C-alpha cells in the first residue's frame, strides 16, 4: 500500500513531478474553469439572486416531485436493491469541473471501486451551471469504465439551471417543467425572474451521444427524483437535496422524517455538510427543526452523515448524549478545485477536539500548496513559497498542536513564515482567533481560494469507499494526487469502523 500524507512527504505528493497517466482519459480540449472570471460568476448568479430576492428552489423541487410521481416514481422515493448483507459502495463529492483534478481521481477510483455495488455522487455533479451538455465530458466520459450504477444528489451548481440537466440524466430523461406562473410585476420575484439564468437554447443536443459511454445494462440507474433513499443490504442510504442555499423545503422535510423511521441503520448523504471547518451547520427545514435534529434522533438509527459542497475531506466523530457516536464527514474532494484546510482553526466543537478530528489535505500540505500557488501568481516565489516542513511547523505553532508528519527536527518558525501564514488565512486556536483576526482571512477564504484551481499535481483530491456488513461499516478516505506513484494504489488517508449493532 502506498504511503499516505500522514506517513511521508512523498506520500503527500511532494518531491516528485511524474504525472500519472490519467490524461489519456481526458478529451483533447478540456474546459478550464476559473471562478475569478467575471463571465463565469455571471453565469452562476442564481445563488446570489436567491439569497437577495427569495429562493424559489422549494417550489421548483415540488413541481419536479409532482412530475415524477405522475410518471410512476415510487411514492416513498425508495430504491430497493438486492445487494447481499456484505457489499461495498463509493461516495464521490463535487466532481464535475471536467479538468485534470477530476480525471486524476478516476484511475484510483476504478481500482478501489472495481468490486463495488454502486457509487453516489454527493453534490455539484456539473460545474459551472449544471448544463445538460456538460454531462458528456464531466460525467459520462470520466466514469465510462465504472461498471456499476451511479446515483446522485444535486448541489447548488446543478440548480443554477433549475435542475433540468440533472433530471434528464438521473431521472428517466425527465422532460422540462412547464413554465411557472408569471410573478406579479415589480415585486421581488418579478425582478428575480428577469435576471434569472436559464438553460441556453438547444442545451442537451449532445446528450444522447454522451449516454452511449455508460450504456451497459449493469451501469444503468434511475432514481425517483433529486432526493431518494436506497435500501441496500442491511443499511438505508438517504440522499437529500439542499438546493441553492443549503436548506430543505417542508415537503422534503416531511419525507425525510418518514423515511428515517425504523431500526434499520442509516447513512445520510447531503449537499450541505452538517459539521465543516470546525463549525456546526444543522441545516434548517422549512416549517421548523433541522436536518441534524432528525439525524440525531435515536429512533432513526443514523450512524453517519456525509456531505459534499466543501472540496476537501473532514471527519468529526460526535459523541451524543445517549452514548452513540455519529460520524459527520465532509467528502467534496472528487474533482473540483481544492478548498483550503489550513484555514480551519483548532477544532473544538460538540466535544470533538484535534485528537479526534481528521482532514485531507493536512493543514500543512494545504498551506504549502497555496503558498506555492500564490508565489507563482504574484511572482514572489522566494517570499511566499513555504516548504511542506515549514508549513507544518507554522501550523503547529499557530494552532498549538504537534506536527502531523514529523520527518525530523522541525525548522525554526521565522517572521516570514508567520506573515505568509497570516496572509493566507491560516487558522488559530479559538482563544486567539478574535485577538488576531485579520480582514485578509475573510477575503482569502471567500474570494481568493475559490479561484485557485490548479492543473499541476499534487491535487489533493479524494473519494470514499464504504464496506458494509451486518456488524459494521468500514469507511476509508482514499487520496488522489495525480502523480504516477499513487495513481492506481491510492493511499488511505483516513479509516474508521462504524459499528451497526
Q: What is the pLDDT of residues 293-333, one digit of tens each?
A: 999 999 999 999 999 999 999 999 999 999 999 999 999 99
pLDDT in tens, 160-200: 999 999 999 999 888 888 888 888 898 899 999 999 998 88
Residue 275 has pLDDT above 90, yes or no: yes
Residue 433 has pLDDT above 70, yes or no: no
CB 147 within 8 A of CB 117: no
Least confident range of 22-26, 280-284, 422-426, 476-480? 422-426
Helices and strands of the chain, counted as H and E runs: 17, 18
Distance CA(278)–CA(346), nearest Å, equals 8
Q: Which of 369, 287, 345, 277 is nearest to 315 (CA)?
A: 277
The pTM (predicted TM-score) of the whole model is 0.95
Beta strands in 189-301 (DSSP E): 228-232, 235-240, 266-270, 275-276, 279-280
Provide mean pLDDT across the span 369-377.
89
Residue whose grid cell is 504574484: 378
Residue 407 has pLDDT above 70, yes or no: no
Residue 436 has pLDDT above 50, yes or no: no
Distance CA(331)–CA(271), nearest Å, equals 10
Residue 92 has pLDDT above 80, yes or no: yes
- Which pLDDT band holds residue 89 (cuts at 50, 70, 90)? very high
Instruction: Read off φ and ψ for residue 451, nearest 5 degrees.
Output: -90, 5
- Which pLDDT band holds residue 438 (cuts at 50, 70, 90)? very low
Q: Which of 204, 109, 205 is nearest to 482 (CA)?
A: 109
- Which pLDDT band holds residue 453 (cuts at 50, 70, 90)? low
Bridge partners, 463 (sequence order): 478
Winning range, highest mean pLDDT, from 192-196, 274-278, 379-383: 274-278
pLDDT in tens, 327-363: 999 999 999 989 999 999 999 999 999 999 999 999 9
pLDDT in tens, 13-63: 998 778 999 999 999 877 777 777 788 888 889 999 999 999 999 999 999
Find the Cα–Cα–Cα–Cα dihedral 179, 184, 190, 194, rounded to 10°. Answer: 60
pLDDT in tens, 116-154: 999 999 999 999 999 999 999 999 999 999 999 999 999
Residue 447 has pLDDT above 80, yes or no: no
The share of the chain scoring above pLDDT 90, in percent, equals 77
CB 271 within 8 A of CB 246: yes
Provide mean pLDDT across the span 374-391.
89
Q: Given its phi and psi angles, is residue 149 left (phi above 0), alpha (psi -120 to 50 degrees) or beta? A: beta
Higher pLDDT among residues 365 and 178, named by residue: 365
Residue 213 has pLDDT above 50, yes or no: yes
Provide mean pLDDT across the span 462-488.
96
* pLDDT value of position 432: 61
- Cα–Cα separations (whole angstroms), residue 219 to 78, 134, 146, 208, 327: 19, 19, 8, 16, 30
Q: 321-327, long-range: CB within 8 Å, 24+ apart, which pairs?
A: 322/298, 324/298, 326/295, 326/296, 326/302, 327/303, 327/475, 327/496, 327/498
Residue 267 has pLDDT above 70, yes or no: yes
CA 399, 401, 404, 410 torsion-angle sign: positive
Residue 435 has pLDDT above 50, yes or no: no
Q: Each residue of 257-266: b (16+ CB within 10 Å) or e?
A: eebbeeeebb
Q: How many CB atoms lie within 10 A of CB 418?
A: 14
Distance CA(104)–CA(20), nearest Å, equals 8
Residue 395 has pLDDT above 50, yes or no: yes
Q: What is the mean pLDDT of the chain?
A: 91
Sheet of 150-153, strands arranged across: 150-153, 118-122, 87-93, 461-468, 472-480, 492-499
DSSP class of residue 217 equals G
Residue 380 has pLDDT above 70, yes or no: yes
* pLDDT value of position 428: 82
Domains and CATH numbers, the chain: 7-339+454-497 (3.60.21.10), 361-439 (no CATH)
Q: Each residue of 126-161: b (16+ CB within 10 Å) or e?
A: bbbbbbbbbbbbbbbbbbbbbebbbbbbbbbbbbbb
Amino acid at each position: 500500500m502506498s504511503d499516505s500524507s500522514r506517513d511521508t512527504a512523498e506520500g503527500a505528493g511532494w518531491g516528485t513531478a511524474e504525472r500519472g497517466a490519467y490524461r489519456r482519459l481526458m478529451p483533447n480540449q478540456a474546459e478550464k474553469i476559473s471562478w475569478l472570471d467575471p463571465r463565469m460568476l455571471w453565469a452562476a448568479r442564481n445563488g446570489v439572486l436567491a439569497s437577495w430576492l427569495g429562493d424559489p428552489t422549494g417550489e421548483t423541487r415540488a413541481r419536479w416531485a409532482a412530475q415524477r410521481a405522475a410518471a410512476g416514481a415510487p411514492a416513498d422515493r425508495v430504491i430497493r436493491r438486492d445487494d447481499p448483507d456484505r457489499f461495498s459502495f463509493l461516495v464521490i463529492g463535487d466532481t464535475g469541473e471536467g479538468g485534470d483534478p477530476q480525471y486524476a481521481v478516476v484511475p484510483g477510483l476504478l481500482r478501489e471501486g472495481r468490486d463495488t455495488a454502486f457509487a453516489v455522487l454527493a453534490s455539484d455533479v456539473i460545474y459551472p451551471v449544471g448544463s445538460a451538455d456538460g454531462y458528456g465530458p464531466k460525467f459520462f466520459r470520466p466514469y465510462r469504465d465504472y461498471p456499476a450504477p451511479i446515483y446522485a444528489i444535486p448541489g447548488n451548481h446543478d440548480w443554477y439551471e433549475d435542475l433540468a440537466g440533472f433530471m434528464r440524466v438521473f431521472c428517466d430523461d425527465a422532460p422540462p417543467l412547464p413554465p411557472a406562473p408569471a410573478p406579479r410585476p415589480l415585486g421581488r420575484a418579478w425582478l428575480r425572474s428577469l435576471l434569472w439564468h436559464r438553460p441556453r437554447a438547444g442545451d442537451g443536443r449532445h446528450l444522447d451521444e454522451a449516454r452511449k459511454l455508460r450504456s451497459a445494462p449493469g451501469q444503468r440507474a434511475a432514481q425517483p427524483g433529486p432526493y431518494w433513499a436506497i435500501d441496500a443490504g442491511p443499511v438505508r442510504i438517504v440522499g437529500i437535496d439542499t438546493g441553492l442555499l443549503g436548506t430543505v423545503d417542508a415537503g422534503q422535510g416531511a419525507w425525510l422524517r418518514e423515511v428515517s423511521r425504523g431500526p434499520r441503520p442509516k447513512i445520510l448523504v447531503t449537499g450541505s455538510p452538517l459539521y465543516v471547518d470546525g463549525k456546526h451547520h444543522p441545516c434548517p427545514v422549512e416549517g421548523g427543526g433541522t436536518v441534524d435534529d432528525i439525524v440525531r434522533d435515536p429512533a432513526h438509527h443514523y450512524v453517519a452523515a456525509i456531505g459534499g459542497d466543501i472540496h476537501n475531506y473532514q471527519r468529526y466523530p460526535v459523541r451524543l448524549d445517549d452514548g452513540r457516536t455519529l460520524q459527520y464527514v465532509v467528502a467534496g474532494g472528487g474533482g473540483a478545485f481544492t478548498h483550503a484546510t489550513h484555514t480551519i482553526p483548532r477544532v473544538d466543537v460538540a466535544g470533538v477536539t484535534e485528537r479526534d478530528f481528521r482532514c485531507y489535505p493536512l493543514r500543512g500540505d494545504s498551506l504549502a500548496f497555496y503558498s506555492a500557488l500564490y508565489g507563482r501568481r504574484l511572482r514572489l516565489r522566494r517570499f511566499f513559497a513555504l516548504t511542506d516542513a515549514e508549513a507544518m511547523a507554522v501550523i503547529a505553532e499557530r494552532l498549538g498542536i504537534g506536527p502531523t508528519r514529523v520527518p525530523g527536527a522541525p525548522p525554526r518558525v521565522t517572521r516570514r513564515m508567520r506573515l505568509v501564514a497570516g496572509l493566507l488565512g491560516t487558522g488559530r486556536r479559538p482563544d486567539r482567533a478574535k485577538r488576531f483576526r485579520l480582514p485578509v482571512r475573510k477575503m482569502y477564504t471567500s474570494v481568493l481560494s475559490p479561484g485557485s484551481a490548479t492543473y499541476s499535481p499534487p491535487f489533493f483530491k479524494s473519494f470514499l469507499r464504504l464496506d458494509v456488513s451486518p456488524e459494521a461499516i468500514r469507511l476509508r478516505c482514499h487520496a488522489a494526487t495525480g502523480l504516477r506513484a499513487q495513481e492506481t494504489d491510492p493511499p488511505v488517508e483516513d479509516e474508521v469502523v462504524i459499528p451497526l449493532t
